[in-house]
Amino acid sequence: MKARIKKAVSLKVKAIGLPILALCWVSFFWGTTWIASKEGVKHMPAMQLVAIRQFLGGILYVAYFLFKKTPWPKGKQWKTILILSLLNFVLSNGLSTWGIKYISSGLGAILGAIFPIWIVIITLFRGEKTSKLAVTGLLICFGGVCIIFYDHLKDFLQPNFSFGILLSLIATLTWAFGTLYTKKKAASFNPYFSLGLQMMISSLFLFTIIGATGTTIPLSEIPSNSWWSIGYLVIIGSVLTFVAFIYALQKLPAEVNSIYAYINPIVAVILGAIIFGEPLTLLIAIGGIIVLIGLYLVNQAMRKKKMAA
């Protein structure tokens, strides 16, 4: 009897423990991808790095699902994939990576986390009802961002810094549109196969753009640091961490699983300060915490709205 109880407890602990470990993996390693991107774009054009990363990641996903003989998308499903590849990978991922060439990885991660704010603003412009909790979260986030950038007011006089902020903000906006479009056009085909196809298609778009504009360097001239960054982004960022994310998403409640979104920027800010010597002032720390509190309120409001629907 005791042996059965002990076995049951062991299985229960394992069932809870593995998803929590997967969530911890996601929370930490998706934060480190900002650091890898920052290191990579130091030595090569940002869009070329993104194109190579998406191409290699897409190949791995597509090859796996072809091996599993997963059915290909049909008809209008391709339209959804094309639009999402442009919004999520060409624009959002591409511009956010380009942006951190000119700003710190920590600032890029914080700005990348505020995409739910754009969703609230978009719904307001659409004339949809928005809860007081969402508006409160929006105002708190805005206050936190103001605190963060207080130390960077002079930096806005520098064209490169302003350009990096602009790219990062557009990236979060396109991710918000991609999120809303995904909800509206929920596809019936395998979403993970779709992810791989989006990566592949986006890489073709990017290779065409950078080829036409001449913003590339020969592969032989890409330094080893950038190749290591690309390898890390593909294996850790695009494959292993996403698998862990899917596993945690399936095993844990949504409110628990969403914790990664608040930890990623913290990891990026701390590692950016340690590895690259990026500024980590008291105002950045306080502002970052306030932004995360605001994001938590916005996400809670969105979750309640979804449950009510």
Rounded CA separation 286/269 (Å)? 12
Give the pLDDT score at 13: 43
Half-sphere exposure of 26 (CA within 13 A, CB side): 21
Rounded CA separation 237/220 (Å)? 24
What DSSP character marks residue 44?
A: S
Give the pLDDT score at 185: 64
Give the pLDDT score at 188: 63
* Burial of residue 106 (number of CB atoms within 10 Å: 0-12, 13-18, 19+): buried
**Is 247 within 8 Å of 70 (Cβ atoms)?**
no
Give the pLDDT score at 8: 45
Q: What contacts 26, CB < 8 A, 6 or more positions away?
A: 241, 244, 245, 248, 260
What DSSP character marks residue 43?
A: S
Dig out the tokens for 195 from the structure: 């992810």
Q: What contacts 32, CB < 8 A, 6 or more positions away?
A: 232, 236, 267, 268, 271
Give the pLDDT score at 110: 85
Give the pLDDT score at 11: 44
Element (H, E) at 106: helix 105-112
Instruction: Tell me the average confidence (pLDDT) per consecutive run of 10 residues in the chain, 309 residues long.
Output: 47 62 88 93 93 94 90 86 92 93 88 81 77 81 81 78 92 87 68 87 94 90 94 91 80 70 84 85 84 81 68
Rounded CA separation 171/138 (Å)? 18
